[in-house]
């Protein structure tokens, strides 16, 4: 017989295991007294935050809305308390793997249901106002990008004024050469001079029109920046977020109008059309030379001018097309959002709030796992022990007392002998006497 199979060693090992099992049972007995209270506190706390989250979703602040929000929060609190109470009792008690897997899947499904009906509302109560402010700040950034993009396009279009001025100056130089006879060989203000002057005047008018747009572009951009400043102030201003959202929405409408105005102030489409008309709409002046040879020289010069005119017009058109094809600012529209929707939309920015909202609902799952592990340890310590081994000295004393009481009640006492009944003495009979004459 080895040491491991020695009955004495086995009994000592079993006694040691039973001692550990009883120690764990004692801890569980003490913890059972506070587990229900802890679950109740967590359920009530979750219900309070759920009420705040539901209240933020309801538009009406009347009695019916209060009753609806209160009923929902109470239902959530009861559901959380009952759900975790079931699992705390049942999951540690089952022993088969199939039952454990089934209850564990039920716990996962119930946890998802709790998150769906409570946790996101808790997060809305914890970080709803901050999430709405985040939405306002993001909208301000979008509007700022759109405003800057619209202003960039408008300023780039204003830059076409230099291209127009360069082309106009080129035609003016050619007209001056024609006036001195260095172009067609005929000095004066003849047909070629009039053609060059005609196109120079058209470009000068376009240049003045572009220059006239500059003050409007500057004013619109300044107004947009002023609106953005007010919107930023509303984003970080102290106080409830709902009235600030209303004012923010009004400012957003104004800023959208300014951005649209800036887009309309771009002169790039106008320059494209003007460049197309520059070469297409040419009024050829009548040749005024005396001789046929001179008129032929004027005609040749006009053809050369028209060729140069087409080239300059195409260059100007391409410059305007490049500005016109710049990526337009994205259309930005401010959409008011509730605290619950804001928390979901910007969940990545409020991870701690989400963690706290979920933890307050799912923290009992940790208690369930602790209870499951502890009960499994107790069963492992008791493995191989009989019911007699599990009895403590107090249990044995109570069993002996109960046995004596049972024996005392069930003992049959011997019947005492019943004495014979004695006859009761009656009256003595009277002797009969005979009288004479009978």
Write the pLDDT tens digit of every residue in 139-163: 999 999 999 999 998 888 888 888 8
Q: Give the span between the Cα atoms of 153 and 133, in whole angstroms.
A: 30
* 64 within a domain of the structure (yes/no): yes
Residue-averaged pLDDT of the chain: 78
The predicted pLDDT at position 80 comes to 93
Out of 158-162, 287-291, 368-372, pick the least confident.
287-291
Pair (49, 169) in one structural domain: no
- Domain of residue 118 covers 7-128+350-384
The answer to whether the CB of 62 falls within 8 A of the CB of 29 is no
Whether the predicted pLDDT of 82 surpasses 90: yes
Pair (191, 64) in one structural domain: no
* 243 within a domain of the structure (yes/no): yes
Pair (72, 167) in one structural domain: no
Distance of CA 36 to the CA centre of its chain: 33
The answer to whether the CB of 316 falls within 8 A of the CB of 241 is no
Pair (84, 207) in one structural domain: no
The predicted pLDDT at position 436 comes to 44
Q: Torsion angle, CA of 282/284/285/290, rounded to 10 degrees? A: 160
Pair (327, 297) in one structural domain: yes
Please spell the DSSP secondary structure of 67-89, one letter per residue: HHHHHHHHHHHHHHHHHHHHHHH
Which residues, at least 6 apart from 320, have a Cβ–Cβ distance to it below 8 Å?
Answer: 157, 160, 163, 268, 269, 271, 272, 275
The predicted pLDDT at position 8 comes to 46
Pair (362, 250) in one structural domain: no
* 400 within a domain of the structure (yes/no): no
Pair (178, 242) in one structural domain: yes
Which residues, at least 6 apart from 124, have a Cβ–Cβ distance to it below 8 Å?
Answer: 52, 53, 56, 57, 131, 338, 339, 340, 342, 343
Q: Give the span between the Cα atoms of 48 and 69, in whole angstroms.
A: 10
Pair (98, 116) in one structural domain: yes
Instruction: Retrieve residue 310's tokens.
Output: 């087409």
Write the pLDDT tens digit of every residue in 407-431: 776 654 445 555 555 555 555 554 4
Whether the predicted pLDDT of 437 surpasses 50: no
Out of 38-52, 85-99, 172-186, pick the least confident.
172-186
140: left (phi over 0), alpha (psi -120 to 50) or beta: alpha
Instruction: Retrieve residue 228's tokens.
Output: 């953005």
Instruction: Retrieve residue 199's tokens.
Output: 């196109």
Q: Give the span between the Cα atoms of 292 and 294, in whole angstroms.
A: 5
Length of the chain measured in residues: 438
Tell me how many domains the chain contains: 2
The predicted pLDDT at position 236 comes to 85
The answer to whether the CB of 376 falls within 8 A of the CB of 21 is no
Instruction: Retrieve residue 201's tokens.
Output: 């005047």
The predicted pLDDT at position 18 comes to 67
Pair (144, 181) in one structural domain: yes
Buried b or exposed e, range 44-71, using 16+ CB within 10 angstroms: eebbebbbbbbbbeeeeeeeeeeeebee
Percent of the chain with pLDDT strictly greater than 90: 15
Which residues, at least 6 apart from 313, have a Cβ–Cβ distance to it below 8 Å?
Answer: 167, 275, 276, 278, 279
Give the Cβ contact number of residue 73 at 10 Å. 23
* 427 within a domain of the structure (yes/no): no
Q: Identify which of 57-66, 113-122, 181-190 has the greatest average pLDDT.
A: 113-122
* 367 within a domain of the structure (yes/no): yes
* 433 within a domain of the structure (yes/no): no
In which residue are the tokens 């030379």 written? 289
* 317 within a domain of the structure (yes/no): yes
The predicted pLDDT at position 342 comes to 86
SS3 237: coil
Buried b or exposed e, range 118-153, using 16+ CB within 10 angstroms: bbbbbbbbbbbbbbbbbbbeebbebbbebbbbbbeb
Pair (231, 124) in one structural domain: no
Write the pLDDT tens digit of every residue in 296-340: 655 666 666 667 677 777 888 888 888 888 888 888 888 888 887
Pair (303, 277) in one structural domain: yes
Pair (325, 364) in one structural domain: no
Which residues, at least 6 apart from 314, have a Cβ–Cβ distance to it below 8 Å?
Answer: 275, 279
Span between the terminal Cα atoms of the chain, in Å: 119
The answer to whether the CB of 337 falls within 8 A of the CB of 132 is yes
Task: Average the pLDDT over 117-143 and give the result.
Answer: 87
Instruction: Retrieve residue 371's tokens.
Output: 């209870």
The answer to whether the CB of 210 falls within 8 A of the CB of 267 is yes
pTM for the structure as a whole: 0.66
């Amino acid at each position: 017989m080895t040491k491991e199979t020695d009955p004495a060693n086995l009994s000592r090992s079993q006694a040691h295991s039973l001692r550990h099992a009883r120690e764990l049972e004692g801890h569980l007995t003490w913890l059972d007294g506070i587990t229900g209270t802890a679950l109740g506190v967590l359920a009530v706390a979750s219900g309070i935050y759920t009420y705040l989250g539901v209240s933020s979703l309801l538009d009406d602040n009347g009695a019916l809305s209060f009753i609806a929000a209160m009923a929902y929060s109470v239902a959530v609190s009861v559901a959380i308390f009952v759900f975790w109470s079931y699992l705390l009792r049942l999951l540690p008690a089952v022993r088969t793997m199939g039952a454990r897997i089934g209850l564990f899947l039920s716990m996962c499904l119930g946890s998802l249901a709790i998150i769906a009906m409570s946790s996101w509302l808790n997060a809305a109560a914890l970080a709803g106002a901050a999430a709405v402010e985040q939405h306002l700040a993001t909208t301000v950034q979008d509007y700022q990008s759109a405003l800057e993009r619209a202003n960039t396009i408008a300023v780039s279009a204003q830059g076409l004024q230099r291209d127009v001025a360069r082309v106009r100056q080129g035609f003016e130089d050619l007209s001056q050469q024609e006036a001195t006879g260095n172009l067609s060989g005929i000095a004066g203000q003849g047909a070629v001079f009039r053609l060059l002057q005609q196109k120079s005047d058209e470009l000068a008018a376009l240049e003045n029109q572009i220059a006239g747009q500059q003050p409007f572009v500057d004013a619109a951009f300044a107004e947009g920046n002023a609106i953005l400043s007010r919107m930023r102030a509303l984003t970080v201003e102290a106080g409830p977020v709902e009235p600030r959202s209303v004012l923010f929405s009004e400012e957003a409408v104004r800023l959208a109008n300014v951005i649209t105005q800036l887009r309309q102030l771009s002169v790039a489409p106008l320059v494209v059309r003007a460049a197309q008309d520059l070469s297409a709409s040419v009024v050829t002046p009548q040749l005024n030379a005396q001789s046929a040879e001179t008129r032929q020289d004027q005609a040749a010069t006009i053809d050369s001018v028209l060729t140069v005119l087409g080239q300059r017009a195409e260059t100007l058109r391409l410059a305007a097309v490049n500005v016109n094809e710049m990526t337009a600012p994205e259309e930005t529209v401010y959409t008011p959002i509730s605290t619950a929707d804001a928390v979901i939309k910007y969940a990545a920015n409020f991870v701690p709030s989400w963690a706290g909202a979920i933890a307050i609902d799912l923290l009992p799952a940790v208690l369930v796992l602790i209870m499951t592990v502890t009960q499994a340890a107790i069963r492992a310590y008791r493995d191989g022990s009989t019911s007699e081994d599990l009895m403590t000295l107090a249990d044995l004393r109570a069993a002996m007392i109960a046995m004596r009481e049972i024996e005392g009640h069930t003992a049959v006492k011997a019947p005492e002998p019943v004495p014979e009944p004695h006859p009761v003495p009656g009256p003595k009979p009277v002797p009969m006497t005979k009288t004479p004459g009978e």
